[in-house]
Amino acid sequence: MSALTAQKPEAAPAAGGRWIEHWAPDDEVFWNTTGKAVARRNLVWSIVTEHLGFCVWLLWSIAVINLGKVGVTLDVGQQLWLTTVPNLVGAFMRVPYTFGPARFGGRNFTIISATLLLIPCALFVYAIGNPDLPFWALLLIAATTGLGGGNFASSMSNITHYYPSHKQGLPLGLNAAGGNIGTSVTQLTMPPLIVAFGLVAVGWVWMPLVLVAAAGAYFFMNNLRTATSAYTIREMGRISRERHTMIMSILYIGTFGSFIGYSFSFGVLIKNQFPEVQAAHFIWLGALVGSVARPIGGLLADRIGGARVTFWNFLVMAAGIAAVWFAVNAGSWGLFLAAFLLVFATTGIGNGSTYKMIPAIFRRKALEGIDEADGTAVESAVATARRKAAAAIGISSAVGALGGVLIQQTFRISLTEAKSVVPALLVLAAFYCVCVVLTWAAYLRKTGPDRRSLADAGV
């Protein structure tokens, strides 16, 4: 029995038991007798809250094309700002939200982050009821939906602490997929809801669900005492400058940045390239496919390694973009849709595999030079690794969301300046090839006296 399996099992903390003083998921006895059930319960309500966060985050992307129905007239530039600002705010909010679970406790901050979603919903209802509001006021109201984008970072950094290092891929993938699929849910359900009840329903519909999520977190989630050593801003800055944090942030631009950027842009691209197609009938498919694929990426990463999955996934992403380019040139709607859905699937798989890599990288670094027989030293190193990984996840998620803005702007510049989507596709394919090389150089290339790669060490 290893040093990490020497702890005595404890009785499982009750649902809503507030604080858990001892948490050792890498202890096999503890995990099988106590940890697994508690982790799953917290994961469920984390998924619910994060899902609603994404739904609210995407609220204006659907509403903006229907504002004319309530007497709000905007030009194309103003409409684009109303969809871009929430993305920007959501990206920046992910940094402070990363601190939330460590500072206040995972349960407590989930309650807070869920309740805050009432603000953008209520302000949206107010805006629709007052169509004479100036554009700057609409912009500020739209910006508050960025609170929903921040939920991802707090949710992921919290769930990281609950699962054993070698089993984090699937739960992190499920947690993220549950949030990501909120994008598709909003795009699918809002148009018929608007037809049936009017645009104001887009704000009202989420409020009771948000209250249910907050109540679920209150009654069924827990805080981990071992995860409350919050990093200061200075320490967070130091982690952000670490080599692997920067590398993983770039890779996450390629995965999540692509997912959110394509989700915001897919309808515009369909309308631009195939104007005869009803974009609203297909826009939700991309986000759905990308969301469902995310836990698959995590599961594959658990089995064969995150770095290997990420490497091959970026190759397929580049090939998928090439297929999109071919479909555009051929004027084939069927091939365009199939190729883009393949790309969406790879964004999800890559999201799952990269988030598996981050905890594995920091765990490996923390255990370098540690005697595995020294249980105290190992436990301390693993705890430090979990805190660093949670911080790195928050940083990477923020950078990735900003990457989505860059992708939106790449398409905008390509369509307005070159009158074609092809230049944007070439830039994206080249970037994915860079990610292939970066993944190989950092994690698959065999180095050191034992000629092993980081992937061989479990990354």
Domain extent listing, the chain: 26-230, 233-459
Q: What is the DSSP string of 330-393?
A: HT-HHHHHHHHHHHHHHHHHHHHHHHHHHHHHHHHHHHTT--TT-HHHHHHHHHHHHHHHHHHH
CA 168 – CA 164 distance, rounded (Å): 6
For residue 3, the model assigns a pLDDT of: 41
Joined tokens for residue 202: 């887009």
By C-alpha distance, which of 436, 437, 427 is closest to 325? 427
Residue 16: exposure state from Cβ atoms within 10 A (0-12, 13-18, ≥19): middle
Note the pLDDT of residue 232: 66
State the CATH class of domain 233-459. mainly alpha
pLDDT score recorded for residue 17? 57
Domains 26-230 and 233-459 share a fold: yes
Which portions of the chain are predicted below pLDDT 50? 1-11, 16
Identify the bridge partners of residue 20 per DSSP, sorted by sequence position. Answer: 224
Under CATH, to which class is 26-230 assigned? mainly alpha
Taking the model in full, what pTM does it have? 0.79
> How far is residue 120's CA from residue 25's CA, in Å, rounded to a whole number?
37
Per-residue pLDDT, 440:
95
Q: What is the DSSP letter of 440?
A: I
Give the pLDDT score at 12. 53
Both ends of the chain: CA-CA distance in Å?
23
Q: Which of 230, 222, 226 is nearest to 19 (CA)?
A: 222
The phi, psi pair for 108, rounded to 5°, reads -60, -45
- pLDDT at residue number 239: 83
Dihedral-angle region of residue 22 (phi above 0 means left; psi in -120 to 50 means alpha; beta otherwise): beta
